[in-house]
Amino acid sequence: MQSAPINGFDEPQAPTDFFVHPSADVSPRARIGKGTRIWNRAQVREGAVLGERCNVGRDVYIDFDVQIGNCCKIQNSALIYHGAVIEDGVFIGPQACLTNDRYPRAINPDGSLKGADDWEVGQTVVRYGASIGAGAIIVTGVEVGRFAMVGAGAVVTHDVPAHGLVVGTPARLVGYVCACGTRLEIDDQGRGRCPRCQREIEIGAAEGKIETR
């Protein structure tokens, strides 16, 4: 992996602030928020920051320096690699993967093995309240907007707008969802209404702006 600056945390945290299953591997140089729970065989590497009241499922991998906000759910076997920034309230489904290598190769053109310093890390950002479905792959350099929803098994290669619903391989925009997760009913003027909670959301077609009321 790339040699990158790692957040230095010199003082160990009080173990009563959060729960770590005995089989999990959490670096003492990670920072874990109060009330967070980390379950069987999960690995949290050095410099990673997890906010408060998160739930990290079985066999999850969180790479070094990954940033995760409060109240996130990271489901079983999800893989979150260096360069990922996850805001508050995000759902990452089981076996989802957030990648980080822009030009993945094992060797250089001359046949030599690539080392820690000759590959480029991209940043992946998942905004507030968004959901990543089971088995979805988020290609590095992508931003998933606020309250967006990525369908199970999708391969996301482009940014997803706020409240956008994307599915397929490659992922394509097929609609919009409410903050509650229900698909919006869109009228001819681009206004969305949630049939479940009755929220109304205006979707600005020209600039992708979202207004909720």
| 56 in any annotated domain | yes
In 3D, which of 63, 56, 53, 28 has the Cα closest to residue 42? Answer: 56
Number of domains in the chain: 1
Q: Which pLDDT belongs to residue 10? A: 53
Other Cβ atoms less than 10 A from the Cβ of 135: the count is: 17
Q: Please check whether residue 54 lies inside any domain of the structure.
A: yes
Sheet of strand 79-80, all strands in order from the earlier edge strand to the far edge: 25-26, 43-44, 61-62, 79-80, 97-98, 137-138, 155-156
Q: Which pLDDT belongs to residue 11?
A: 58
pTM for this prediction: 0.88
Q: What is the pLDDT of residue 126?
A: 99
Residue 9: burial class (beta carbons within 10 Å; 0-12, 13-18, 19+): middle
For residue 128, the tally of other CB atoms under 10 A from its CB is: 16
CB atoms within 10 A of CB 120: 11
pLDDT at res. 181? 95
Q: Give the residue numbers spanning the domain of 25.
A: 1-144
3-state SS assignment for residue 16? helix
Question: Residue 48, Cβ neighbours under 10 Å: how many?
Answer: 26
> Is residue 86 in some structural domain?
yes
CATH number for the domain that contains residue 124: 2.160.10.10
pLDDT for 98: 99
* Residue 132 in domain: yes
Name the residue with tokens 């729960």.
19
Residue 55 lies in a domain: yes
**Residue 76 domain-assigned (yes or no):** yes
Instruction: Supply φ then ψ for residue 48, to 5 degrees.
Output: -70, 145
The token pair that represents 80 in the structure block: 């979150």
pLDDT tens, per residue, the chain with 213 residues: 233 333 445 555 555 699 999 999 999 999 999 999 999 999 999 999 999 999 999 999 999 999 999 999 999 999 999 999 999 999 999 999 999 998 999 999 999 998 878 888 899 999 999 999 999 999 999 999 999 999 999 999 999 999 999 999 999 999 999 999 999 998 888 889 999 999 898 886 433 444 444
Residue 174 lies in a domain: no
Which residues share a beta bridge with 24?
none
Assess if residue 15 is contained within a domain: yes
Partner residues linked to 126 by β-bridges:
86, 144
